[in-house]
A = this chain, B = another copy of it.
Amino acid sequence: MDFTFTQGGVTAAKGFRAAGIHCGIRKNRDKKDLALIVSDCPAAAAAVFTQNLVKGAPCIVSAQHLVDGKASAVICNSGIANTCAADGMEKANAMCALTAQALELSENDVLVASTGVIGPSINMEPIEAGMSSLAAALSKEGHTAAAQAIMTTDTVKKEFALTFTLGDTVCTMGGMAKGSGMIAPNMATMLSFITTDAAVDSSLLQQALADAVGDTFNMLSVDGDTSTNDTLIVLANGMAGNVPVTQKNDEYTTFVEALRALCTSLCRALAADGEGATKLLECRVSGAASVKDAKVIAKSVINSSLLKAAMFGADANWGRVLCAIGYAGANVNVQGVDVSFLSEAGSIDVCRSGAGIDFSEEKAKDILTQKEIIIDIRLSDGTATATAWGCDLTYDYVKINGDYRS
């Protein structure tokens, strides 16, 4: 491990400030709804966006602003997704223009993101009125307010930071994310912003992000619904002073590992706080014929509504694990599948060679009543592995989504 977790979020790295305020997009005055992250100097920038054909206007505008591989600020609102609205592009551009004006930047160096209800137009008045106080609130301490301002049905903020060493220079990386429902990223989760003071060439930064996302955000599912607004942005401003990473050397590898570790922490936090969730589910697959097979199987299991409901009920219904392996569409010898459930309370084998084995229901109940459950699947088809994250399916998921808009 070439990295160490530390306190903080998107302002942990040198040269980044952030803020989060309530400007009035949401009616509830206790809920912040506008976040801003700024780098003190132009940063190399990379991002991945949803692959949903229905794309939020902010995704389109941010992708346009990223063509030159650099950015200085990210503006983000919660409450309205600015998706499927006739004036979406106009409003997304206006958010960038207002931010650029307040910070004396070029519009092209501002990235934009939105999260909330799909359909309605964003009212620009509260954003216009609030922009100067948002800019005035920018600080090193603003990371928590920013992380709070992007939350929707999230019950806790998600932010992490870590340090790592490139050459002999200590660098820092921090990030925040929001998730909850409509979480089955197919490039990135709903919204996540990562900042680092490492100097990394922007095209390599994009490659590093793609590498890390394949094993992290793309292995996360709360409900199988790929959002229209998935956005993961990383800004690298170089203020740590390391020798810039411009080729795939040891420093690049270290950087990718650090990025993957940060993304993994954010993903686990998103899964654990999935809409209505009471438990984090981690599905580990080993012995697969290929990484693709391992990933497909891990995601199929983590996505099964039946298994998710069984985990809510602490019911060791391993047949549903086998069922989800079988319909995953992967290449697998079902007679060579072993399954165990693990948690802080211990581990229990429930299926060997594709068939059930006797086990203590009492012990299984103890294991499955913990907050973090590992579903460990060992195949006999090869050596590839994968891990996916999800959560249980609960009454509260139904409650939250039965009347989300009101």
Binding site for B on A (CB under 8 A): 51-55, 81, 83-86, 117-120, 181-182, 184, 186, 223-228, 303-306, 309-310, 312-313, 315, 317-320, 322-327, 332, 334, 351, 354-356, 393-395, 397-406
Contact = CB atoms under 8 A, between A and B. Distances in A.
A120 B355 CA distance: 9
Given A224-B224, A320-B118, A398 B309 contact: yes
Contact of A319 (B117, B315, B394, B401): B117
Closest 8 CB pairs of A and B: A118-B319, A313-B402, A54-B326, A309-B401, A119-B356, A226-B327, A52-B326, A53-B326
A319 B186 contact: no
A205 to B, nearest CB: 26
Q: Secondary structure of the A side of the interface?
A: loop
Contacts of A406: 315
Contacts of A332: 53
A312 B400 CA distance: 11
A318 B119 contact: yes
A187 to B, nearest CB: 11
B312 A354 contact: no
Contact of A327 (B186, B323, B395): B186
B395 A81 contact: no
Most chain B CB within 10 A, of A54, A223, A312, A322, is at A54
